[in-house]
Structure 1
Amino acid sequence: MRRISLVVATALAAATFAAAPAHADQTFTGSLTTSDPQAVITQPDDTTQACSFAGGATAPAYVDQVTLPAQIAGTRSFVLHVGSTSMVFAVLYVYRNGVCVGADYTPDNAQEASAGVIDVDGITFAAGDNITVKVAGVPPLDWSLTVVQPEPVKGSARSAASGRGAKFVTLPAAMSCQTHSAVLKFSRKAKRSAAKAVVRANGKKVKQIRTFKPRKRVVVKRLPAGATLSVVVKLKNGKKATVRRSYWSC
């Protein structure tokens, strides 16, 4: 019976549960059995990590699958532990948004071979990409997969902007750690409909705008090292629309 569990590489106090940081490494474990789905797999290129190559073999196998979102942009490594006696029966495939972008089935060196390790390194993902990892082989096969997450880029956005105000103003993908500033751009809808806009950083007012020129850069200065920016747009009809975005600390 298929069994997959997740262990996040971060310390938690007893009886305390909290969301792991977006950049925490993650470890998944499972057992490949005959109740898992079957598929015809392609032989990866063990030199380039390509998912297949001309003349490569195909073979039937059982497959386990792990999916997770890329919460931050960056390059990730995928390390599969299967035990040295099972090396020839395990293949590791990595997918970005449904497209295979890396695979391997052999250890890189004698040390990895003795430890029962297969890895796929240097796969780049954008924030929001869907990551799928497939472990293929012949049961029974116990496996452990560690996804080595990148450190967040300083000043980059933690997530997409949220809120109705996004139709009136675009918050940047990153703030400048050098100048502690961010560049906003207002839309044509803002020019037609907005009376004023108030920008706040971590709840503190840092700028007010009353003139809106579409696509003109509006620079917000003196921002804290790590900030949540919010823009409250007051419309000419009296209503308000807010947009927010959080950024990693500088």
Structure 2
Amino acid sequence: MRTPHRIAALAAAVIAPVAFVAPAAHADSTSTGTIETSDPQMNFLEPDPNTDQCVKAVDPGNQTAHYDTVAFVSKTNGPRRITVRSTLPTPVPFAIYAYRNSTCVAADYMPDDAAEASQGITDLDNIVFAKGDRVTIKFFALGPTGIPWRLDILQPGSANAVAVGKGKSYVKLPEQVSCGSKKATVQVAGKAKARKIKSIMFTAGGKKVAAVKGVRARQNIKLKGIPSSATSIKAVVKLKGGGKAKVTRAYSVCR
């Protein structure tokens, strides 16, 4: 922004309905769309680009703009990085606002450094959401209509996909890995499934992180020593009647 006390004028920037690459409730989700002229409008107050506060403390400007919304209920605890940019070859600036339970908690409209500026990225770093928080991200382009965009929500250690495999009916893999402690908790299924289980072995990034026998219904199992480079957790369930059931879930790398 060249104008110090107001958001630069834009030509009715709008965003089309979001096409989710991954559910936004999970980490590392991506949404894409294109700026149109048919979406809702709102008057946005100028945020502070130095502190990412939602409203600049002194002489904030304002801008009425068409905008789009990505909303979800957080399934995990912890900080996120939220980025928005145009997918055009030439960078287009965006303004972005993050809301937690209907209250704005962070906003920005300027790249933080030369690298972000060269890619046209506007981001919000270390925005903490708790499990159960209703999260809303509103954003608009400081430019003409017809601009394609991409919004990324990044959180290290949390699941970015649902669990896959027959074993998911026997054990529930976690929504999140604690990057600090390198631990996670899984839960055994109810009585009908638990009585069929002989043993379960868990691996993360190829490393064994837990093994149990004689499980109980709804039993919590602690996984320890999860590698920071792990991108998945896998459970192999051995059944009393013979055979195995496997389940795998993908996670964002702890970094």
Same fold, judged at TM 0.5 (above): yes
1:203 to 170, 188, 194: 194
Equivalent residue number for residue 83 of structure 2: 79
| Contact kept in structure 2, 1:79 and 1:145, CA below 8 Å | yes
Identity percentage over the alignment? Answer: 33
Report the Cα distance in structure 2 between the residues aligned to 1:112 and 1:42, rounded to whole angstroms: 23
Equivalent residue number for residue 2 of structure 1: 16
Instruction: Tell me by how many angstroms 1:70 deviates.
Output: 1.2
Equivalent residue number for residue 207 of structure 1: none
Report the Cα distance in structure 1 between the residues aligned to 2:174 and 2:63, rounded to whole angstroms: 41
Equivalent residues in 2 for 1:1-20, closer than 5 Å: 2-8=16-22
Q: What does the per-residue CA deviation read over 1:177-217, in whole Å, with 9 as the maximum and x for residues that have no partner?
A: 89x99xxxxxxxxxxxxxxxxx98x837xxxxxxxxxxxxx
Equivalent residue number for residue 152 of structure 2: 146
> Structure 1 residues 6, 126: closer, same or farther in 2, change over 3 A?
same
Query: Do residues 249 (structure 1) and 223 (structure 2) align?
Result: yes
1:132 to 124, 130, 136: 136
Report the Cα distance in structure 2 between the residues aligned to 1:31 and 1:37, rounded to whole angstroms: 14
Give the letter aligned to residue 49 of structure 1. D
> Structure 1 residues 130, 225: closer, same or farther in 2, change over 3 A?
farther
Instruction: Tell me by how many angstroms 1:3 deviates.
Output: 3.2
Give the letter aligned to residue 110 of structure 2. T
Report the Cα distance in structure 1 between the residues aligned to 2:211 and 2:54, rounded to whole angstroms: 41
Instruction: Tell me by how many angstroms 1:46 deviates.
Output: 0.5
Q: RMSD value over aligned CA atoms?
A: 4.1
2:37 to 34, 38, 55: 34
Q: How many residues align?
A: 173
> Structure 1 residues 101, 246: closer, same or farther in 2, change over 3 A?
farther
Give the TM-score, by structure 1 length: 0.56
Report the Cα distance in structure 1 between the residues aligned to 2:130 and 2:85, rounded to whole angstroms: 26
Equivalent residue number for residue 66 of structure 2: 62
| 3-state SS of 1:113 partner | helix
> Structure 1 residues 249, 24: closer, same or farther in 2, change over 3 A?
farther
| 3-state SS of 1:44 partner | coil
Equivalent residue number for residue 105 of structure 2: 101
Give the letter aligned to residue 31 of structure 1. T
Give the letter aligned to residue 18 of structure 2. I
| 3-state SS of 1:111 partner | helix
Query: Do residues 123 (structure 1) and 115 (structure 2) align?
Result: no
Equivalent residue number for residue 238 of structure 2: none
Instruction: Tell me by how many angstroms 1:130 deviates.
Output: 1.4
Report the Cα distance in structure 1 between the residues aligned to 2:51 and 2:83, rounded to whole angstroms: 16
Give the TM-score, by structure 2 length: 0.55
> Structure 1 residues 24, 39: closer, same or farther in 2, change over 3 A?
closer
Query: Do residues 51 (structure 1) and 57 (structure 2) align?
Result: no
Give the letter aligned to residue 203 of structure 1. A
Instruction: Tell me by how many angstroms 1:59 deviates.
Output: 1.2
| Contact kept in structure 2, 1:91 and 1:103, CA below 8 Å | yes
Report the Cα distance in structure 1 between the residues aligned to 2:158 and 2:37, rounded to whole angstroms: 39
| Contact kept in structure 2, 1:22 and 1:71, CA below 8 Å | yes
| Contact kept in structure 2, 1:158 and 1:245, CA below 8 Å | no
